[in-house]
Amino acid sequence: MANKAGAKTRIHPETGATLRRGERDMTIAFKGMKRIVRVKGWFPEGSDDGIFERGDAASTAAALAEMKAEHAARVRALARDVVKKVASIRPAKKVTNTYLSELLTGSPNSFSKYALGNATPSHPTVVLLTLLDKRPELVREIEAAAAPATA
């Protein structure tokens, strides 16, 4: 549909608002990170409740992929750092990826997968790794709490 000025318009299927083709800034968020990206679409006056066509979301998809890669790199580094820090306070005990995997997740290979970037840990596991990175001595409390469960 064209208005008097020749601009194309559409009607929003749910709200009935008149939509015009344009670009808007949108905030994309993932795991505590945010990016502002410019997106094309059909938008009503004064609102971001738009409709997008194929290809309109390319900028949001690129921003999301970038944030996912950044998050994965952080988790890989965090997992490697935790192994080193826990090993430094537990010299009498050999601290390996397998040991920490079994202690922290109950699976023998999960920690290696995190450190290599082959798997993404759950949010609670990331929180636990963050705490251990800041306070590696907490591993002693985790070992003590896990002992009855493994006995």
Q: What is the DSSP string of 113-146?
A: HHHHTSS---HHHHHHHHHHHH-TTHHHHHHHHH
Q: Measured between alpha carbons, how far is 67 from 20 in angstroms, rounded to an integer?
A: 30
| DSSP line for 75-101 | HHHHHHHHHHHHHHH-TTS---HHHHH
Cα–Cα distance between 116 and 55 in angstroms, integer? 33
Q: How far apart are CA 41 and CA 39, in angstroms?
A: 7
Q: So what's the pLDDT on residue 57?
A: 86
**Six-digit token string for 76:** 């890989």
User: Tokens 């922290």, residue?
Assistant: 104
Q: To the nearest 10°, the Cα dihedral for 80, 85, 86, 87?
A: 90
Q: What is the pLDDT of residue 63?
A: 95
In sequence order, the β-bridge partners of residue 38 are: 25
pLDDT value for 89: 87
Q: Report the C-alpha gap between 88 and 105 in whole angstroms.
A: 21
Q: Strands across the sheet with 18-30, in order?
A: 9-11, 18-30, 33-44
Cα–Cα distance for residue pair 124/77, rounded to 1 Å: 17
User: In whole angstroms, what separates CA 3 from the centre of its chain?
Assistant: 43
Q: How far apart are CA 79 and CA 85, in angstroms?
A: 10
Q: What is the pLDDT along the chain (151 residues), one digit of tens a residue?
A: 444 444 588 888 888 889 999 999 999 999 889 999 999 999 998 776 888 888 898 999 999 999 999 998 999 899 889 989 999 988 777 888 888 888 888 888 888 888 888 888 888 999 999 999 999 999 999 999 988 755 5
pLDDT value of residue 40: 92
